Structures are given as structure tokens and as C-alpha cells.
Chain A
Amino acid sequence: MHPAPSVIVFTVLTGLGFGYLACLGIGVIRPAGWVAFGLWGLGYGLAVGGLLASTLHLGNPQRALLAFTQWRSSWLSREAWLSVACLVALAPVALSDWLGLGLPRGFGVPGAALALATVAATSMIYAQMNSVPRWNHWTTPLLFQAFALAGGAMLAGQGLVATALLAGLAAAQVAAFHFGDRQFAARGHSMATATGLGGIGEVSVFEQPHTGGNYLMREMIHVVGRKHATKLRRIALLLSSLLPAAILLLPGHPAVIAAATLCHLTGAACARWLFFAEAEHVVGLYYGQR
């Protein structure tokens, strides 16, 4: 699948943003005054910035509000509702922290739950696709949730807890690579099954249907850069999980958190690029390309 930059920015920033908002919501840290304004602002900025980035890949973004209408069937629509519900539900808590209104911490719990539900809905957009076997697996929701929780705890300065969650994220990534690599073969899809001609003999492409490229090939068949996949996986694991986990063992100074976060974001972008670039759509079988 084509790794569109807007979609990578969208999933990485919303994952981190909603994970961090969940931490603020349940009161892992309880900032006050202008510090609260800054920290809540950071959470809202990441989440809203990510959501806005997602509109950049739309063909007709001016109609984006219509995406709220089909929550009964569409995970994308559910994600839209859950994200807005979360941002609204957490607003009183954020205001209370900023202005010292003394709202009980329990008010943040529903908002935190909505934040994690938003991440779950995002992951289901990909996990629901049985046309993309690598994504169509329980490791996809696990991976998105692990990114949100580890990133959120890291940004909230949760030292050892964040280190443990980052280690968990590394495990989730290794699991996703392990199972993902086997998914396409496990489903048994091939050119023979896609065309239904396998019963006659061995099927191969004689001639392509068109000599130029098309939307399908640009969008679903992404082969550029896969040759560096193994190296990129190591870089992604190191930068998104292992290195930030090590950095967070240092005393919890804001500079330490900032360094870990930058390192994590770079690794997360790399991991998300791979998430798309390595995913193979079954339509590639008709072209003899994956």
C-alpha cells in the first residue's frame, strides 16, 4: 500500500496525542495554571493536528463533515465521532486544571476511555480490510494501542512505567512483523485463486491490461523501498521503543522527555511507513505484482 505522508502524520500524531490525553484525563500528572495550559495544549495540538493532516489526502476535503454520518457501518466515521467526543469530554477537565476550578478527577475518566476508543477505531480502519491480509489481524489494534499508551506515558514523564510500556511496544512491533510476514501466505491467496484459473494449470501474466500506470497500481502496489525493509525495521524498533526506553531511565527532566519524544516520533514515523509499504493488497495478484 502507498505510504502517503499525510496518513503517516495523521496516525502517528493522533496515536501519541490521544494516548497523552488519556494520561492527562485519568490524572497521571496533575498540572496547574499555565503549565496545565501548555501540557493540555500539547495533547490537543497533537490530536487535532493529526486529525487535520488526515484531510490532506482527501480528493474533496470540503465535504469532510459528511464523514460523521455513517457511524453505523464505517470505522472511519466512528473514529470521527469518538475523536470529537473525546476532545469535548476532556475540555472541562483541561479548563479546570488551567483555571484551578477543582473538578474531581473522575470527570476525566470517560474522556480518557474515549481517547483510547478513538485509537482503537483508527486501528480498525486498517484491521477490518481482508483485502490486505497483513493488516487483517489482531496485532494491528494491539500495535496502535501500544503506540498510544507508550507514547502517552512517555510524554507524561512516567519514568519506569513508560519504559515498561515502551518495552511492551517493542514486543508488539516484533509480534506484528512476525505474524504479518505470514499472513498473506496463510490466507492462501495467489494468482491462481484470484483468477479462478488455477484448476486448468499454472497461471502467469501474458500481457498487462494497460501499458501505463493507474490508480490501483500507485495506491495498492508499492514496491519501492521494500528492499531496505529489514534495516528499516531495526531502525524503527530502536528509535520508537528501545532508545526512548533507555533515555527515560535518566532523571525526569523536561529535556529528557523532549529527547525521548523526538526519538520516538522519528521511529514511529518509520514504523508507520513500513506498516503501509509492506502491506500487500490482493488486487496485486491480478497484475502479478505485490
Chain B
Amino acid sequence: MTMLPATTERKLGLVIDLDTCVGCQACVTACKGWNDQGYGAPLSDQNPYGADPSGTFLNRVHSYAVQPADGTAQIINFPRSCLHCDDAPCVTVCPTGASYKRTEDGIVLVNEDACIGCGLCAWACPYGAREMDAQAGVMKKCTLCVDRIYNENLPEEDREPACVRTCPTNARHFGDFADPDSKVSRLSAERGGYALMPDLKTKPVNRYLPPRKKDQRSEASLLAPLLDIKATGFAGWLDKVLGKI
């Protein structure tokens, strides 16, 4: 049923650290790799080796240049995926009940057997989190690797989303936002984690950590003391004489 649950027992989601993300796209690749072979229809590619390749991905990493009023420009890498919103508009618009939000952990999922591929949920999502798979004709979205996080066949350290597990700079964190003492809740509180487009009233669960303040570039050269050469001896005498002529 595509009515949203009033509350969920847990609120699983991600913290994405925009300060440490280096834009290496490893999370994109790990996500595509894992979701190609496990849960639901595989993420297909169209014309992958041709002139105009295209494919389904559940995670995309943007790069922005941000120019402060004073100081140098910053490059900020910006991963974008499903935010597992509390008031997910993608769920309520679904005519078939394929889209749903789980009461036990808040994960927003698609039951692909009931999805007619109308695309309305992708329209309703302001964040572009959903992509229709061109081969299967069903809507694909981040599952928070629901087939990893509870999977007892995996070693315990692997029971987190593939993107989090693979991130080489620890820019992605996974946990329960309903617990104020969880790692993600504390991290978000300490670093001023923010939600995307809160004015659209979707109440996203995921949080983005803003880049830390950068040091100001010193105007004086670090080499300045070394360049201030005082000539001594004969060269010093010559310097004095030549200066007076």
C-alpha cells in the first residue's frame, strides 16, 4: 500500500561528507556492480561500447565549482542518490503499490513485480533518485543494499551498503538516524549535517556534511625570508659602492 507509515522503527540512511569526498566515482562503480547481480532486475546498459552509451545507475557523483566572495574557488564533489525521505512523494503517487516505505527501517523500495513503469515516481522525486531501467521497464532506485545489510552470509564488516563499504576516503557513513546516539546521528550533529531542498517538505533522512572552512591562503611567500639575501665581504663592499654611483 502506498500510504506512508506514520513513523518507522528505525530510520536507516547515509551521511555523505562533502569535505572528504574526492569524486573518485568508486561508490558509483561499487553500487552498479552490486546491484547488477542481486536484488531485482539488473541495472542495464544501452549501447555501452557505442558512440552514445547510456545506463541505469542508482548513484551519481556531481562536481561543482564554488566561488566564495573572497578567496579561491573550491571543487566540491557531490554524490546524489535516494535520501529515503520520511514524506517520500515517490511513494504516494504510485498507482500500483509497487513503491513503498518499510515501517521497520524506513527504506524506500520498489516491488518490481508490481511496477508498471509509468515513471510518475521519478517525476515526483525532486532529487532525481529514481531511474527507469530501459531494458526491464521498471523503476530502479537505491535499496540501501537491503540484500547486504541484513545478509548473515556476509562477514559483519561487509553488512553495509556497497557505496559505504568501498569509499576509500570514508566520505560515506551508514546508520540509524532514529537513534540520537548512533554514529551517523552524532556525526551529523557535530558537523552541521543538512538535508537537501527541505522546502519541498519531503523530510529526507540522508544528511550532507558541509565542507569544512578552508585555511586562508597567506599573501606573503613562504620563501620570502630566503630571498632576503644580505651580501657580505667583497660582494657586500661592491654592493655598497655600486649602490652609491
Contacts and interface: CB of A to CB of B under 8 A. Distances in A.
Nearest to A205: B64
A197 interface: yes
Contact of B128 (A60, A202, A220): A220
Contacts of A60: 115-117, 137-138
B95 A220 contact: no
Q: How large is the interface on B (under 10, 10 to 19, 20 to 34, 35 or more residues)?
A: 35 or more
B85 to A, nearest CB: 12
Nearest to A207: B63
Interface residues of A, number: 59
A74 B63 contact: no
A130 interface: yes
Contacts of B210: 196-197, 199-200
B120 A201 contact: no
Nearest to A187: B199
B105 to A, nearest CB: 21
- Residue with the highest number of chain B CB atoms closer than 10 Å, among A132, A197, A220: A197
Contact of A70 (B96, B134, B138): B96
Nearest to A201: B68
Contacts of B149: none
A142 interface: no
B211 A63 contact: no
A41 B120 CA distance: 31
Interface stretch (A75-83, A85-93, A254-262, A267-275): A75-83
A119 interface: no
A286 B61 contact: no
Contacts of A209: 28, 60-63, 80
A266 to B, nearest CB: 27
Contacts, number: 198
B177 interface: no
Nearest to B138: A59
Contact of B95 (A67, A189, A208): A67
Given A66-B97, A201-B67, A216 B138 contact: no
Contacts of B123: 1, 129, 131-132, 219-220, 281
Contacts of A68: 95
B96 A128 contact: no
Nearest to B59: A209
- Residue with the highest number of chain A CB atoms closer than 10 Å, among B64, B98, B208: B64
B136 A59 contact: yes
B92 A74 contact: yes
A200 B96 contact: no
Interface string A175-207: 000000000000111010111110111111111
B126 to A, nearest CB: 4
B169 interface: no
B132 interface: yes
Contacts of A205: 62-65
A282 B126 contact: yes
Nearest to A68: B95
A70 B2 contact: yes
A212 B104 CA distance: 38
A77 B200 CA distance: 23
Interface stretch (B71-79, B159-167, B236-244): B71-79
Interface of B: 1-4, 18, 23, 28, 52-57, 60-69, 73-76, 78, 80, 89, 91-98, 114-120, 122-128, 131-134, 136-138, 194, 196-197, 199-201, 208, 210-211
14 contacts: A59-B119, A59-B137, A73-B91, A74-B93, A76-B120, A196-B208, A200-B68, A206-B75, A208-B62, A209-B80, A214-B55, A215-B132, A281-B123, A282-B197
Given A58-B137, A131-B126, A214-B54, 16 more contacts: A63-B96, A72-B2, A74-B92, A74-B120, A125-B93, A125-B120, A130-B89, A132-B123, A200-B68, A201-B74, A202-B67, A203-B65, A206-B65, A219-B132, A286-B62, A286-B127
